[in-house]
Amino acid sequence: MWFWIWCALVLGALAAAVLVLRHLWRKVRRVGATLGEAGTLADRFDERLQVAEQQWRGRMPQPVTVFADPAEARLHVVERAEVRAGRRAARRARQRERWARWARPGPVTADLLRQRLH
């Protein structure tokens, strides 16, 4: 009789070990997949970082020198003025859009507010 009890215990332990190992294997596969995705995201981040660094280098201020070519300095001033004008136009467009959105009648109007206050 003890033989059958020990057989059942050993088989139960083996079944539990198989289930634990299967669970661990699935976890390891998920971690591997997540690390693969993280590597892909890191590569994309690195590419975007390089693009941002290149753009930043283009915006680096030009050093002030007394003996620099005046034509190059004027060209730099014109380029910076164009960049500022572009940013200004984009800001004005955003402001017009915001004001248009705010001017639309919504669920809360001035008349409704007056009614609730009085």
Is residue 74 located within the same domain as residue 97?
Answer: yes
pTM score over 0.85: no
Looking at the domain assignment, is residue 41 inside a domain?
yes
The whole domain housing 79 covers 68-102
Residue 11 pLDDT class (50, 70, 90 cuts): very high
Looking at the domain assignment, is residue 80 inside a domain?
yes
- Dmax over Cα atoms in the chain, in whole Å? 104
Looking at the domain assignment, is residue 112 inside a domain?
no
Tokens representing 114 are 């007056």
SS3 content of the chain, % helix, strand, coil (to 5): 85, 0, 15
Tell me the three state secondary structure of residue 98. Answer: helix
Looking at the domain assignment, is residue 1 inside a domain?
no
For residues 72-81, average pLDDT: 88
Q: Who contacts 62 (Cβ-Cβ below 8 Å, separation ≥6)? A: 73, 76
Looking at the domain assignment, is residue 5 inside a domain?
no
Query: Would the pLDDT of 105 be above 80?
Result: no
Name which residue leads in pLDDT, 88 or 55.
88
Name which residue leads in pLDDT, 62 or 79.
79
For residues 80-93, average pLDDT: 94
